[in-house]
Amino acid sequence: MTGRSYDYCGSETPLLGETIGQCLDRVAQTYPDNELLVSIPQDLRFTYREFVQVVNRAAKAFLNLGIRRGDRVAIWSINNYEWVVTQLATARIGAVLVNVNPAYRTHELEYVLRESRARALILIDSFKSSNYIDMLGEVCPEVAESEAGHIESWRFPHLRSVIFIGREQHPGMFTTRSFAELGDELDDVALERAEQDLDLDDVINIQYTSGTTGFPKGVLLTHNNILNNAFSVAEVLGLKPEDRVCVPVPFYHCFGMVISNLGAITHGATIVIPSTSFEPEATLKAVQEEKVTVLHGVPTMFIAQLEHPKFDDYDLSSLRTGIMAGAPCPIEVMHKVVDRMHMKDVLIAYGQTEASPATTMTRIEDELEIRVSTVGKVMPHQELKIIDPSTGKTVKRGEIGEICFRGYMVMAGYDNNPEATAEAVDKRAWLHSGDLGTMDEDGYVKITGRIKNMVIRGGENLYPREIEEFLHTLDFVSDAQVLGVPDERLGEELLACVQLHGPRAANPPTPQEFYGLCKGKIAHFKIPRYWRVVEEWPMTVTGKVQKFKLRELAERELADGTLPDSKP
């Protein structure tokens, strides 16, 4: 193989060149009676014509609260129709939607609210074991002491308003109804004026992605970034206005809000919410009852549906396609998805939040083997190259190197972090993924490893340094190293190796006690399953911890069942 690992995908279909609000209006005028959204858990349905009215009312309510172009609005919620309204209403007025992971706890909530400089927070009451109202009260007690819309907090000096999704009245918060009524106080002219000031390169979304240097970084994404990426993915999928897209993936992630929600909207298709968070049977039932044609998910979601005891009770014959992303898919799983779920055109996508997110996809015409063994080819209007990380030069096809992207989809940068931005996007506008891979003669890309020490657990990207930073807040931990170890079900699980000092060094916590110390402080999926107390690190000559040696020891202990496990 002598060609260079570079590819560009041209397209006869131009980029959209419009804001999200303009796209919504254009599609709604074309397909006013198509259903835009079906929320099964809320028993709600909206046509495009109806949903535009709801979005406009919410947009005016934000304006009445003083939210303007560039202001940040955080949403802390599971999947519901209010999430989609917020997504579109903030974009319509140029406000920046800040996605807060529903699994975040107090430690992470405080960080995101402070770093994002959010002027408003939208939240639900609770999710699983997380009581959002109580957690907000813990980090920002001033909310309960304030009049709605007039919060004054020393810890969050930008925060003014909290909006509760629901009818229950909480001190210092608007209810869904009282917030919506604010929109009735403004006429449409105010909204039109706000929209006239917008530009397609305005930042309208911040997604927090965990980083190798500690706390998450806020990825700044524009109308142009995410709208065109959603449109391109939908084009490759062959999406039509009559399609119905089932979305069991979370909205807070690019897969949910961009590929799923915006992808459907750009083509006049229908978004179907099967449940507030992923439930295998609820997804199967939604496919049957709503005659779903497109189903997205990570491999573990498809496995959970296929292995559900009532799988054969549901008629999935309406399905045609969908995207499987987030982790490598075993070929036997792909065969079952095609054969048993009728998804003959299911495709694989690869990318990252910083790329809005999709950069490569397989194609409908690809053989099944290609759709499993590769992550496809570069997307329309994008460039991709693979470089030698040490020299920056493009490697020959078939050689391993770092995957880099360039095009409309590259983020505007990391929020308030020019140093990290410069590390990720070079002077020639190439986004460096940190992933290692190869490109064959036909342009198909394979992922072979990671430069960044990222762990993928059940489709969730986890960055050890962030978890290590938290473990250092425990007063008896002198040092910590977090890494991934193999797991048959989730792909990888987390192992924390810790050095202790003080009295606890002689009487270390059990794995279950370690788990309890993390519970409620960081998201449950970031809490390591395995724990080992280490007295001395394996080190390089230059003094760096050799994580690969820790991993090798852990893999041996996993094999013989002696790795300390926090699972009851």
CA-derived radius of gyration, the chain? 24
Confidence of residue 479 (pLDDT cuts 50, 70, 90): confident
Greatest C-alpha distance within the chain: 71
Q: Quick one: 390 and 461 in the same domain?
A: no
The backbone torsions φ and ψ at residue 249, rounded to the nearest 5 degrees and listed phi first, read -80, 155
> Do β-strands 203-211 and 214-222 pair in parallel, antiparallel, or remain unpaired?
antiparallel
For 288-304, how does the pLDDT look when each residue is reduced to its tens digit (9 = 90+)? 999 999 999 988 899 88
Q: What is the pLDDT of residue 214?
A: 56
The total number of structural domains in the chain stands at 3
| Residues in a beta bridge with 350 | 360
Give yes or no for a contact between 5 and 399, defined as CB atoms under 8 angstroms apart.
yes
Over range 136-143, report the average pLDDT.
97
129 confidence band (pLDDT: 50, 70, 90): confident
Task: Tell me if 115 is assigned to some domain.
Answer: yes
Please report, for the domain that includes residue 73, its CATH number: 3.40.50.980
Average pLDDT over residues 439-443: 97
What pLDDT is attached to residue 478? 83
Does any domain span residue 38?
Answer: no
Domain match, 425 and 495 both? no
Given 199, 231, 252, which residue is the final one in a domain? 199
- 160 and 88 within one domain: yes
Whether 443 and 472 map to the same domain: the answer is no
> Do 463 and 403 have their domain in common?
no
The answer on pLDDT for 541 being more than 60 is no
Domain membership flag for residue 36: no
Q: What is the pLDDT of residues 334-362, one digit of tens each?
A: 889 999 999 999 999 999 999 999 999 99
Reported as a single tens digit per residue, the pLDDT across 223-254 is 999 999 999 999 999 999 999 999 999 999 99
pLDDT at 223: 98
Judgement on whether residues 290 and 384 belong to the same structural domain of the protein: yes
Half-sphere exposure of residue 150: CA atoms within 13 angstroms, side-chain side: 3
pLDDT at 281 over 90: yes
Last residue of a domain, one of 381, 416, 450: 450
Same-domain status, 495 and 346: no
Q: Considering only 306-310, 533-537, 541-545, which range has the smallest mean pLDDT?
A: 541-545
Q: Same domain for 95 and 59?
A: yes
Q: With respect to residue 313, please indicate whether it lies within any of the assigned structural domains.
A: yes
Q: Is the pLDDT of residue 34 over 80?
A: yes
Q: Looking at the domain assignment, is residue 64 inside a domain?
A: yes
Among 150-154, 315-319, 393-397, 485-489, the minimum mean pLDDT is found in 485-489
66 located within any domain: yes
pLDDT confidence bin for 468, thresholds 50/70/90: confident
Q: Are 403 and 376 in contact (CB under 8 A)?
A: no
Q: Are residues 230 and 175 in the same domain?
A: no
- Three-class HEC string of 94-151: CCEEEEECCCCCHHHHHHHHHHHCCCEEEECCEECCEEHHHHHHHHCHHHHHCCCCCC
Whether the per-residue pLDDT at 212 is higher than 50: the answer is no
Q: Are strands 530-533 and 491-500 parallel, antiparallel or unpaired?
A: parallel
Q: 263-300: string of b/e by CB count within 10 Å (b at 16+)?
A: bbbbbbbbbbbbbbbbbbbbbbbbbbebebbbbbbbbb
Same domain, 446 and 466: no
pLDDT (tens digit per residue) in 403-415: 999 999 999 999 9
Among candidate residues 420, 450, 480, the one where a domain is terminated = 450
Is the pLDDT assigned to residue 73 strictly greater than 70? yes
Angle at 520 between CA 514 and CA 524, to 5 degrees: 75
* Residue 218 scores a pLDDT above 70: yes
Q: Residue 126's pLDDT band (boundaries 50, 70, 90)?
A: very high
Q: What per-residue confidence (pLDDT) applies to 404?
A: 98
Residue 338 lies in a domain: yes
Q: Are residues 312 and 251 located together in one domain of the fold? A: yes
> What pLDDT is recorded for position 213?
45
pLDDT (tens digit per residue) in 3-28? 999 999 999 999 999 999 999 999 99
Closest CA to 96 of 86, 104, 106, 105: 86
CA 371/CA 363 separation, integer angstroms: 8
Q: Which helix (H) or strand (E) holds 8?
A: strand 6-8
Instruction: Of 332-336, 427-431, 547-551, give the range with the top mean pLDDT.
Output: 427-431
- In this structure, the answer to whether residues 242 and 315 fall within a common structural domain is yes
CA pair distance 40, 221, nearest whole angstrom: 29
CATH number at residue 272: 3.40.50.12780
In a domain, 432, yes or no: yes
Residue 253 structural domain: 6-13+223-450
| Bridge partners for 164 per DSSP | 123
How many residues are recorded in the chain?
568
Q: Of the given ranges (54-68, 114-128, 281-295, 494-508), which has the lowest mean pLDDT?
A: 494-508
Predicted model pTM: 0.85
